[in-house]
Structure 1
Amino acid sequence: MRPSSALADKILPLDALLERLAPLRAGGGIVFTNGCFDLLHPGHVDLLHRARELGRVLVVGLNSDASVTGLKGPSRPVTPFADRALVLAGLASVDFVTGFDAPTPRELIEAVLPHVLVKGGDWPVESIVGRDAVERAGGRVLSLPLLPGYSTTETLRRALSLAEPARERSGS
């Protein structure tokens, strides 16, 4: 089964994304954030919603599977790129999703050149990749506070620790 066309239309390669953003550029309001979004949790949803409130459109740069593996290790991602992109596209706060293969989204940010660049509060503004390009172009860079208690890595650790006793009981 294929995703609905409305969702698929939100997942774009960079060239198509830039075409869609061109008419919106003059009015301002393009917001960009990025991440792995391996297991989407309430902290992600909250951050994306607050980021979207900062402009007219929210673009999410999504790490490719190879990029996630390079950053997080060989057991990640848990969820493949196409599935992560579809889940993000299904959120009302997300207007566009585009992938990137590099360890950082620097080139993607420089191509999109958003009016507002957003990351979660675990990233100090001075450490946010692409900050220099966005600020040179007159944009803003923000580190938004995180909703406490949510982490993909911690969720995976808990899930694996719950699975351990079950494996021991089954003799696997």
Structure 2
Amino acid sequence: MLHPGHLETLRRARDLGDVLVVLLNSDDSVSRLKGPSRPVVGQQDRAALLMGLRDVDGVLVFDEDDPRTALDRLRPDIWVKGGDYTADLLPEAPLVRSWGGRVEVLSYLPGHSTTGIVDRITAGNVDAH
């Protein structure tokens, strides 16, 4: 479910480099990480939505539970992750740094999360922000 928090993170990530390739969890990966009711939107539709955004140059769908294998294939100069943790806590940080890459963590836009949206819909509160 694409929301303003995603858009802000993607915009800020694009500003850090020349090309933005989004690594996207496959449907199977999302289900393993978030539970059997997820994803709400399938990987083909999620990839199509991302490719429709002006800030996104490419999308790579990966099936693993973390992006290390995909990152090792791409070897980006900058790996950007949205979240409320530090780069040192990301399991992929040592890999990215091994080829001289930089790891950036962008803070989330407060009040916007897919889980929060799903919870509000499930509770029947679809108009709440």
- TM-score w.r.t. length of structure 1: 0.70
Flag the structure with larger Rg: 1
Of 77, 80, 83, the match for 1:121? 83
Deviation, structure 1 residue 121: 3.0
- 2:123 & 2:14 partners in 1: Cα distance? 35
Task: Tell me what 1:102 maps to.
Answer: 64
1:55 is the counterpart of 2:17: yes
Deviations 1:128-159 (A, max 9, x none): 23211221211110111211110100101101
RMSD: 1.1
Task: Tell me what 1:147 maps to.
Answer: 109
Deviations 1:61-110 (A, max 9, x none): 11110000000000001101100000010111110001000111110011
Secondary structure of 1:111's counterpart equals helix
Deviation, structure 1 residue 122: 1.9
Higher helix share: 1
Percent identical among aligned pairs is 49
- TM-score w.r.t. length of structure 2: 0.93
Task: Tell me what 1:92 maps to.
Answer: 54
After alignment, is 115-124 or 57-66 more displaced?
115-124
Give the gaps of 5 or more residues in structure 1.
1-38, 164-172
- 2:19 & 2:91 partners in 1: Cα distance? 20
- 2:117 & 2:83 partners in 1: Cα distance? 19
Deviating runs (4+, > 4 A) in structure 1?
Answer: none
- 1:111 & 1:129 partners in 2: Cα distance? 16
Report the count of equivalent residues.
125
- 2:38 & 2:83 partners in 1: Cα distance? 23
Could you tell me which amino acid in structure 2 is paired with residue 59 of structure 1?
V
CA contact 1:110–1:130 (8 Å) conserved in 2: no
Deviations 1:17-39 (A, max 9, x none): xxxxxxxxxxxxxxxxxxxxxx1
Secondary structure of 2:20's counterpart equals strand
Task: Tell me what 2:34 maps to.
Answer: 72
Task: Tell me what 1:138 maps to.
Answer: 100
- 2:123 & 2:4 partners in 1: Cα distance? 21
